[in-house]
Amino acid sequence: MTPNKGVHNIRIVKKGGPSTKSERGRTSKNISKESKLPITVEDSYCALCPSVEETADHIFFECALAHRTWECLGVDLAGGSCRHPWLMGRELPLPPSVQYDVVLLIFWQLWKARNAVIFDQEQRSVRRVLRHVVDDMENWRSRYKQHQEHWLAWNSYFSTFL
């Protein structure tokens, strides 16, 4: 199958479902390739981790902020779950019905934390990232009418780290 050109940079593969392995995200490295503009070596590094190349895997899993966030939540990245985000958080004693949506909110807040460093020179802590995730969960709660209890269970779990 051909890659999906959708918003989420998830491509469909013949077996095994969606894959986030694609490096088509808006990382410094890929912006440089696409625009053909000269970007210095320093520009391709993570804003939080000096001398580490910024890739999607780095931003969402390997960066110090991302790693500490997942660790704080008790999510094990060692089992290869970062290659299969729909499995992330399955080891937590929480309902799986909304787990994937919650993981996407974490990704979104990690991305926004990265952008805050680059564009606003603002460093965010794990606590602040999780605070924003909880706020997003509150904003999205009405969308989960059938899974209200499950959504609130995840929200309560996250709130314990604030």
* pLDDT digits 0-9 by tens, 36-75: 555 555 568 899 998 899 999 999 999 999 999 999 999 9
Return the beta strands (E) in 8-56 as ranges: 11-12, 18-19
Please tell me which residue, 112 or 37, carries the higher pLDDT value: 112
pLDDT of residue 85: 78
Instruction: Judge whether 155 and 139 are in contact, CB under 8 Å.
Output: no
pLDDT of residue 34: 60
In angstroms, the CA 97 to CA 162 distance is 24
Q: Residue 148's Cα: distance from chain center in Å?
A: 23
